[in-house]
Amino acid sequence: MRPEGLREGDIPGVQARRRRLVPGPPETVWRWLREPARLAAWLGAEVDEVEGRLCLVGEGCRGPYRDEIETVEEVAPRRLVAHLRRLQPAWPEATRLEIELTPTAEGGTEVSILHDGFQQLPLSECLTHWEEQRRRWERGLARLADLLDAGH
């Protein structure tokens, strides 16, 4: 597989940024961020809710993983900030995930994802996990656009 090129806002081993226009207003897109079944559909992972925290369970570049997402700020339907921590295998520090929804003049939404803090991980891990996460968000946003386009 050919490596994906860097995008505006990417800093290898530090932060990954993804943006995508999707159909539908922010209020519709917001449900896909907050409802576990919808979140699972576009992220391609199982989603569990434990004590107010979401856990994503799936298969990553280094085998199975379990990610815990703890919401730290929510301004519905525009902005969600969360800490993401890999529980299996464990990350020593949480990374920061920020998702912003901006309405477009055409009635759609620009979804902007900024995932940063990878430099807090051990040097041997930060680039691998950075690459895995930026690919997760790229694939996920493509699935989200397809699901919204299909009227789900």
Structural domain includes residue 3: no
Structural domain includes residue 10: no
pLDDT surpasses 50 at 2: no
* The token pair that represents 34 in the structure block: 């907050």
DSSP 53: E
The tally of domains found in the chain comes to: 1
The span from the CA of 129 to the CA of 61, in Å, is 8
- Give percent of the chain above pLDDT 90: 74
pLDDT for residue 5: 53
Report the predicted TM-score, pTM, of the whole model to 2 decimal places. 0.90
Angle at 6 between CA 139 and CA 106, to 5 degrees: 60
Q: Which domain holds residue 102?
A: 15-149
pLDDT for residue 142: 98
Structural domain includes residue 88: yes
Structural domain includes residue 103: yes
* Average confidence (pLDDT) over 46-57: 87
pLDDT surpasses 50 at 27: yes
Higher-pLDDT residue of 145 and 62 is 145
98 strand-pairing partners: 81, 114
Structural domain includes residue 39: yes
Give the tens place of pLDDT for each residue, 52-111: 789 999 888 778 889 999 999 999 999 999 999 999 778 889 999 999 999 999 999 999
Structural domain includes residue 23: yes
Amino acid at 126: C
The span from the CA of 48 to the CA of 71, in Å, is 14
Structural domain includes residue 112: yes
Structural domain includes residue 5: no
Q: Give the CATH number, domain containing residue 87.
A: 3.30.530.20
Tell me the three state secondary structure of residue 145: helix
pLDDT surpasses 50 at 10: yes
Confidence of residue 7 (pLDDT cuts 50, 70, 90): low
Give the tens place of pLDDT for each residue, 109-124: 999 999 999 999 988 8
